[in-house]
Chain A
């Protein structure tokens, strides 16, 4: 864990200096049917950061990601990505612009092979050379995917499917990668591997918004964090401070 600590220390300083916002969410309101689920949520993800969004079950984390991805329509507020307003833009257009989500529960294509799944990620691209390079990058990140490339996605273990889901998202050439609970239902050893991969991706310059219920792991990895409770941001701070914040300790770190 010492590596993680030094990483957070250096990272938080870099996050403070010269931050350019990549994603800015300003007071968004959203819901399903008559129920309002998100009440005026605001958050910012700066270029090069890992930001974690933590909160209990049903707090509205996935709903927030669905709003950013353009899959769920807003009822209020604004979303800006790379200095452009994006709320109201169709989901498929946003992916092509680099706003990519790894949805909750992995959702790989079970009856396509691992390679076909990865190629689906590159569906919105035409640069053959770039796609080939990114495929190698994904295989370098998760060597198991190369081994299993001709196997059907549905036959992979949960952890392998999560790797495939992340790999598929990388094939879309994201500027901002949003991950919804990548550690959910996965063996601890694989969780470590996945989080290491997330860190490696970030060190190569990828900006990441990480949604997690596993607050400790997420905060150790990220530069900054937001705590969501029943559709409201109740805390926002640097991750290392959230890790020792008594309110976080009590509610999310089980101490």
Chain B
């Protein structure tokens, strides 16, 4: 057999090691610069990285545009909420909660995908967009179960070996989420080189050719949709645990879906390392860089919340937009470029 198939796959690529390693080292910076807030906001980066890795299966690997990934995060968050919150009868723990959220998410992805995946690209995008809105409205109106705009709370923090984390343990919490991310990256890498991964690429490249290779495109797409939805739901559950609340349904709106899409595109569509980098850049800007700048400005008496122009957070979308335009101009394949054909 060819070298490619006899060689054992390294658990992580070099790029993945570097990015994950840098993330792991980040809390050390906090020791050096005590005023720097890192481990707490980086948990949010991890939550978004997981969502974007899920979206990457659908958009990057299978070539389907999903504009409603946030809906699956919402489904995951609310599943986690209902299963773990003390006002409901189930009250499972954190770990069961995130696991079941992932499973319910996969099921939701399958339910949405089954009737709609035959639609051609742009129609599918519109359907997923609509689904994103419907889920928000549904959650808002199912008040009996979801508590409407109040959100479900309080929700459990992660616990391991008998210790329950609190807001005092941000660093441990960060490392726990990082460990979950590491496991997911390892899973994704194995998936990428698995039979299913090859199936996804084949369908992305050429559906008819894939059919000539004994691949059923419909089933293949459905698996991608379900896998992506499961990851998004997991990220939703992790995010909810972080806030100790599902938040209101409109927290999972189109902006979140677009942010996840931007992460995938900026990072380098199809590349796991790229998506991780994309999450660090896009979400990091949002939750680490801008708040830290704002804080230091305020400390020095330069910025004030009363002046809208002096609050860096208000430039968020301007910076996003600029970043996207610059990316499209100078690195249209993202920060990390997957191999591309010279001629097709």
Contact partner of A110 (CB less than 8 A), chosen from B4, B208, B344, is B344
A71 on the B face (CB < 8 A): yes
- Would you call A169 an interface residue if the criterion is a C-beta within 8 Å of the partner chain's C-beta atoms? yes
- Contact segment of A10-18, A149-157, A202-210, A246-254: A149-157
Q: Can you list 27 contacts pairing A with B, beta carbon distance less than 8 Å? A: A69-B212, A91-B214, A91-B216, A92-B214, A92-B215, A93-B214, A95-B214, A96-B214, A102-B212, A103-B212, A107-B206, A107-B212, A110-B344, A111-B338, A111-B341, A112-B202, A119-B2, A119-B4, A119-B5, A119-B198, A120-B198, A123-B198, A123-B214, A135-B2, A152-B341, A154-B344, A168-B213
Contact A103 B208 (CB under 8 A): yes
Docked-complex contact A112 and B205, CB < 8 angstroms:
yes
**B8 near A: Cβ within 8 Å?**
no
- Shortest CB distance B216–A (Å): 4
Residues of A within 8 A of B342 (CB): 152, 154-155
Instruction: Please choose the segment from A52-60, A124-132, A184-192, A212-220 that sits at the chain B interface, where 4 or more of its residues have CB less than 8 A away.
Output: A124-132
Instruction: State which residues 206-262 of B face A: CB under 8 Å.
Output: 206, 208-209, 211-216
User: Is B339 part of the contact surface with A, judged by Cβ < 8 Å?
Assistant: yes
- Residue in chain A with minimal CB distance to B207: A107
Q: Is the CB of B1 within 8 A of A128?
A: yes
A-B contact count (CB 8 A): 93
Expressed in whole angstroms, the Cα–Cα distance for A69 and B208 within the complex equals: 11
Task: State which of B212, B338, B339 has its C-beta within 8 Å of the C-beta of A95.
Answer: B212
Q: Which residues of A contact B206 (CB under 8 A)?
A: 107-109
**For residue A115, which residues in chain B have a CB less than 8 angstroms away from its CB?**
2, 4
Residues of chain A touching chain B, judged by Cβ–Cβ distance below 8 Å, are 69, 71, 90-93, 95-96, 100-103, 107-112, 115-116, 119-121, 123-124, 128, 131-132, 135, 149, 152-155, 168-169, 172
Residues of B within 8 A of A123 (CB): 195, 198-199, 202, 213-215
Report A-chain residues with C-beta under 8 Å of the C-beta of B201: 109, 111-112
Query: Does the CB pair B212–A100 fall under 8 Å?
Result: yes
Query: 10 closest A-B pairs (Cβ-Cβ)?
Result: A154-B341, A95-B214, A124-B214, A110-B344, A107-B209, A110-B341, A109-B205, A154-B344, A92-B214, A92-B216
Task: Report how far A154 CA is from B344 CA in the complex, Å.
Answer: 5
| Option from B199, B214, B215, B341 in Cβ contact (under 8 Å) with A155 | B341
| Shortest distance between the CB of A90 and any CB in chain B (Å) | 7
Complexed CA–CA distance, A172 and B1 (Å)? 15
CA distance A148 to B215 in the complex (A): 25
In the complex, chain B residues whose CB is within 8 Å of the CB of A108: 206, 209
Nearest-neighbor residue (CB-CB) of A125 within chain B: B214
Contacts of A112 in B (CB 8 A): 201-202, 205
A119: B residues at CB distance < 8 A: 2, 4-5, 198
| Interface residue from B1, B205, B341, B344 paired with A132 (Cβ < 8 Å) | B1
Chain B: residues with Cβ within 8 Å of the partner, total of 26
Known: A92-B216, A111-B205. A154 touches B343 (CB 8 A): yes
Shortest distance between the CB of B334 and any CB in chain A (Å): 14
Shortest beta-carbon distance, B213 to chain A, in Å?
A: 5
Interface residue? B31 (CB, 8 A): no
- Report chain A residues within 8 Å CB of B339: 111, 152
Could you say which of A91, A111, A124, A172 contacts B340, with CB atoms under 8 Å apart?
Answer: A111
Q: Which residue of chain A has its CB nearest to the CB of B4?
A: A115
Would you call B341 and A172 a contact (CB within 8 A)?
A: no
Contact call A120/B341, Cβ cutoff below 8 A: no
List, in ascending order, chain B residues with CB within 8 A of A91's CB.
Answer: 211-212, 214, 216
- Chain B 323-344: CB-based contact to A (< 8 A → 1; otherwise 0): 0000000000000001111111
User: Of residues 1 to 44 in B, which have CB atoms within 8 Å of A's CB atoms?
Assistant: 1-2, 4-5
Q: Contacts of B1 on A, CB cut-off 8 Å?
A: 128, 131-132, 135
Distance, CA A121 to CA B195, complexed state (A):
12
Q: With A and B bound together, what is the CA distance between A71 and B208 in angstroms? A: 9
Q: B20 → chain A, closest Cβ, in Å?
A: 26
Question: Which residue of chain A has its CB nearest to the CB of B341?
Answer: A154
Q: Are A90 and B341 in contact (CB under 8 A)?
A: no
Nearest chain B CB to A73 CB, angstrom units:
13
Closest to A104 in B: B208
Contact of A90 among B5, B216, B344 (CB under 8 A): B216
Give the chain A neighbours of B195 by CB distance below 8 A: 123
A149 to B216, CA, bound (A): 26
| Residues of A with C-beta under 8 A to B340 | 111, 152
Instruction: Give the docked Cα–Cα distance between A111 and B339 (Å).
Output: 7
Q: B2 near A110 (CB under 8 angstroms)?
A: no
C-alpha spacing A189/B140, complex, angstroms? 68
